[in-house]
Amino acid sequence: MAKTLYDKLWDSHLVEQREDGSALLYIDRHLLHEVTSPQAFEGLDLASRAPHRISANIAVPDHNVSTDPAERAMPGYSGVDDATSRLQLETLDTNCDRFGIPLIDLADNRQGIVHVMGPEQGATLPGMTIVCGDSHTATHGAFGSLAHGIGTSEVEHVLATQCLLTRKMKNFRIRIEGEVAAGVTAKDLALAVIGQIGTAGATGCALEFAGSAVRDLSMEGRMTLCNMAIEAGARVGMVAVDEKTLEYVAGRPMAPTGDEWDRALAFWNTLYSDPGAHFDVDIELDATVIKPHVTWGTSPEMVVSINDSVPTLDANASESQRKGYERALEYMGLRGGEPISSIAVDMVFIGSCTNARIEDMRAAAEVVKGRKKAANVERALVVPGSGLVKRQAEEEGLDQIFINAGLEWRSPGCSMCLAMNADRLEPGKRCASTSNRNFEGRQGAGGRTHLVSPAMAAAAAIAGHFVNPAQLEAVS
Amino acid sequence: MRPFTQHEGLMVSLDRANVDTDLIIPKQFLKSIRRTGFGPNLFDEIRYLDPYSAAEPEKERRPDPEFPLNQDRFKGASVLLARENFGCGSSREHAVWALDQFGIRSVIAPSFADIFKNNSFKSGLLPIEMPASVVDAWFETIAQGTNVTVAIDLKEERLTDSEGGEFSFAIDPFRRHCLLNDLDDIGITLQSSDRISEFEAQHQAKFPWLFREASL
C-alpha cells in the first residue's frame, strides 16, 4: 500500500499500537535544554528512575544564555548577572553530570540553539524520531525525520522509557510549485503558508512540504520552513529526503560512516511519500506569485506582502474576529490601510532557530554590505545560531560587514526570539525580526514584532522602515 | 498528576482567539527550575496594571479591573471559557502549571493547540472541546451579566450548566481512562518494558548507527 513519509516514519518506530488509539513510539534522539528539562530530571529523581538510553540524549544551553560577547568571555557563568538564570544554567550542567547525559556546554564552540546544533553535529539524521521540549523541534523534519515538540512531562517520559506516548496524526501535504522570484526566501514561503491556512490550519496533522519550490530550497531553507510548521498548528513539519539531504549529512560528526553509511542510505532513500499515498488534506500553493512577507499583527497568520498595506477589516467578519483585529492593531500601533513600507522600525533582530544559519547570515550581510544602519534604528542585533555558524561567518568576513554597517555581532543563543535573557524589546518599540512569533509580549512586554526574512530585516535596518531589499538604493 | 472525575465550578470567560502560551505565562517566569509557584503570574502581562519587576518580585501590583480573572463576579472561578486555538505557540508546560496553580480545573474552548492539550492532561487540567455555537452562547450569557456554573462529569462525558443546558463532550479514551483512574503515564508505559526492549533490539539490528555513543 502506498504510504506517506509520515506513515513510513511512524511505522518504523511503532512499538505498540493500542485499541484505544494510543501508541508507543520509539524515540531515537532526545535534545534537551535548560528551560524545559529541570522539572523532568527532578521527576526522575523523585521516582528513583534513570534515563533509559543515555546515548539518545544531547543537551545544550540556549534559551536563557547571554549573547553579549563580553559576558560570554567570562569564565563559567560568572557573566550571568541574574541569579535565577545562573541557577537554571547550572542546573542543566548538574543534571547532565549526575545522569550522564552528553552536554555541549556554554564554553564549547559547538554550543548554539538546539535546532541549529542538532543538524550541524549530525545528531539529526534522516529517518529518526526526534523530540525536544521545544515547539520548534519541527525544524529537524527538514531531514525526512519525524520531529515533535513535547512538554516537560513528556521530556521525563522519554528520558525514563525512550518512548513517546502518543497517537497518530493526520497526513497534510502542502505542495509549493514553481520558481520563486528573486529575493523570496524560505521564510516568505513559511509565512505565505501560514497566511493561507491560518495558525490552527494544520492542528492535529503532520505537515509535509513538497513541490518544486521546496525541492529547490537548500537544507537551511527547508529547516526554516519546517521550523514554522508549528505556527500553522502542526507539531511536525517534514520534507522528503533527496540528494541535498544526503550531501548535508555526509561527514557530520555523528553521521554514520563506511558500511553503516551505505546501510543508512538504503533506508534514507525510501523516505518520501509514495505516489498515490493518501493525504487527509492536500493543497497546492503557486510559488511564482509569492512576494517577500511581513506580519502586521500579533499572530503569524496576520501577514501580507511588502507591497501591501495593513489590511482593513473584512466586511463579513464576526464579532470575535473584529475584536481580535482591533486588539491586534491597537497593540501594534497601526491603522488599517497603512502601507507596510511606511512602517518605521526601532530595532532589528536577525537570529533564532528559524533564521540564524550561515545562509541567513550571508543573506543579511549581502544587503547591509557597504551601507549604514538608519539613524532611527536604535539597535540591530545579529545573533548567529551556533558557535560554528559564528566562526564560519567570521571566516567569511560577515561579522565585519555587520559591524561596519552599525549592526551588533553577538554570541549564539535564542536571544530576542523569546527574550528570556537581557536581549528584549522595550514597551512600544517596533522590531523587524527574523524569529517565528509575533505574539503580544513575545520579544518583551509591550514590544511590537514584525516577522520577516533575514534579507528583509537587514533592509529594514538600512532603510529604517520595511522595504523590499531589491529596491534599496544602489550602494555608491 | 491529579485525577479528574467530576467537577462543578464557576466559569470565567476570556474573550480572545489564539491565546498563546506566552500570554498564559510570559517567558520571564520560565527561569524557575521548579514546578510550582506559577499561579500568581498566570496571564501576567494582561492581569496587572503595573509591570513585573524582576528586581522586586514580591512587590504588590495593582490588578487590572478590566481583566476577568480579577473581577469579583468571577472570584473562585475554576473553569476557563476561551475561544478557538487556545494554548497555541510554545510547548512550555509551565502554561498548564500556571492555570492549575491558579485554580483552573478545566478549559472549555472550540479548539486547542496540540501540545497544550497534550500537556494539560498531565496535570489533570481537563481541556474540553465544545462547538463554537455553544461557546458563543455562554460568552453571550456571561457578557450580559449572568454568571454560569458548570458541572462536568468526565466518566459520563456530560456537562450541565446553571442555565439548564445539557451537553456531551468527548475526551481521548486513553486520556480519560488515565484521569479517571489517576494513572501516571510513565508507570503505564513501563508495564510495556519487555515490548520496548524487544523493539529496541530489533531497531538496533536494523539501524545500528542510531545507537552509537554521542561522540562529543
Concatenating the DSSP letter of every residue in A359-384 gives HHHHHHHHHHTT----TT--EEEE--
Residues forming beta bridges with residue B81, ordered by sequence position? B13, B108
Nearest to B122 among A38, A57, A151 (CB): A151
Asked whether residue B198 is domain-assigned, the answer is: no
Distance CA B19, CA A156 (A): 26
Asked whether residue B48 is domain-assigned, the answer is: yes
Q: Is B81 helix (H, G, I), strand (E, B) or coil?
A: strand
| Residue B163 clears pLDDT 90, i.e. is over it | yes
Nearest to B91 among A36, A253, A254 (CB): A36
Q: Do B85 and A445 touch (CB under 8 A)?
A: no
Nearest to B31 among A135, A267, A420 (CB): A420
ipTM field:
0.97
CATH number for the domain including B73? 3.20.19.10
Contacts of A46 (CB under 8 A, 6+ apart): none
**Cβ pairs bridging A and B (under 8 Å):** 214
Asked whether residue B207 is domain-assigned, the answer is: no
Chain A positions touching B100 (Cβ under 8 A) are: none
A271 and A5 Cβ atoms separated by less than 8 Å? yes
pLDDT 10s digits, B122-146: 999 999 999 999 999 999 999 999 9
Q: Output the pLDDT for position B215.
A: 63
B175 and B200 Cβ atoms separated by less than 8 Å? no
Instruction: Give A33 or B58, the one with higher predicted confidence.
Output: A33
Residues spanned by the domain of B21: 6-183
Q: Mind listing the pLDDT tens digit of every residue in chain A (476 residues)?
A: 999 999 999 999 999 999 999 999 999 999 999 999 999 999 999 999 999 999 999 999 999 999 999 999 999 999 888 999 999 999 999 999 999 999 999 999 999 999 999 999 999 999 999 999 999 999 999 999 999 999 999 999 999 999 999 999 999 999 999 999 999 999 999 999 999 999 999 999 999 999 999 999 999 999 999 999 999 999 999 999 999 999 999 999 999 999 999 999 999 999 999 999 999 999 999 999 999 999 999 999 999 999 999 999 988 888 888 999 999 999 999 999 999 999 999 999 999 999 999 999 999 999 999 999 999 999 999 999 999 999 999 999 999 999 999 999 999 999 999 999 889 999 999 999 999 999 999 999 999 999 999 999 999 999 999 999 999 977 75
Backbone angles phi, psi at A169, to 5 degrees: -90, 175
Q: Do A233 and B192 touch (CB under 8 A)?
A: no
Contacts of B178 (CB under 8 A, 6+ apart): B1, B121, B184, B185, B188
Cα A273 to chain centroid, rounded: 24
Q: Is A393 helix (H, G, I), strand (E, B) or coil?
A: helix
Between CA A116 and CA A124, with CA A118 as vertex, the angle to 5 degrees is 130
Asked whether residue B162 is domain-assigned, the answer is: yes
Asked whether residue B197 is domain-assigned, the answer is: no
Q: Output the pLDDT for position A227.
A: 98
Percentage of chain B modeled with pLDDT above 90: 93
Distances (CA, A) of A65 to A62, A95, A111, A113, A285: 6, 17, 11, 10, 38
Instruction: Give A71 or B1, the one with higher predicted confidence.
Output: A71
Q: Output the pLDDT for position A421.
A: 87
Helical (H) or strand (E) element with A121: helix A114-121
Distance CA B201, CA A256 (A): 19
β pairing state of A379-382 and A347-350: parallel
β pairing state of A236-238 and A163-166: unpaired
What confidence tier does B55 reach under pLDDT thresholds 50, 70, 90?
confident
Asked whether residue B71 is domain-assigned, the answer is: yes
Chain A positions touching B92 (Cβ under 8 A) are: 35-36, 151
Q: Output the pLDDT for position A314.
A: 85
Contacts of A397 (CB under 8 A, 6+ apart): none
Distance CA B148, CA B12 (A): 8
Pick from B48, B104, B45: nearest CA to B76:
B104
Nearest to A26 among B84, B199, B215 (CB): B199
Asked whether residue B200 is domain-assigned, the answer is: no
Q: Output the pLDDT for position A476.
A: 55
State how far residue A15 is from chain B, nearest Cα, in angstroms: 6
State how far residue B91 is from chain A, nearest Cα, in angstroms: 5
Asked whether residue B216 is domain-assigned, the answer is: no
Q: Do B216 and A154 touch (CB under 8 A)?
A: no
Pick from A148, A268, A156, A14: nearest CA to B199:
A14
What's the total number of domains in chain B?
1
Q: Which residue has the cell 506580519?
A: A295
Assess B177–A contact: CB distance below 8 Å, yes or no.
Answer: yes
Q: Output the pLDDT for position B203.
A: 98
Q: Output the pLDDT for position B54.
A: 84
Query: Closest chain A residue to B44 measured between Cα atoms?
Result: A445
**For all residues of chain B together, what is the average pLDDT?**
96
Query: Closest chain A residue to B173 measured between Cα atoms?
Result: A20
pLDDT 10s digits, B90-106: 999 999 999 999 999 99
**How big is chain A, counted in residues?**
476
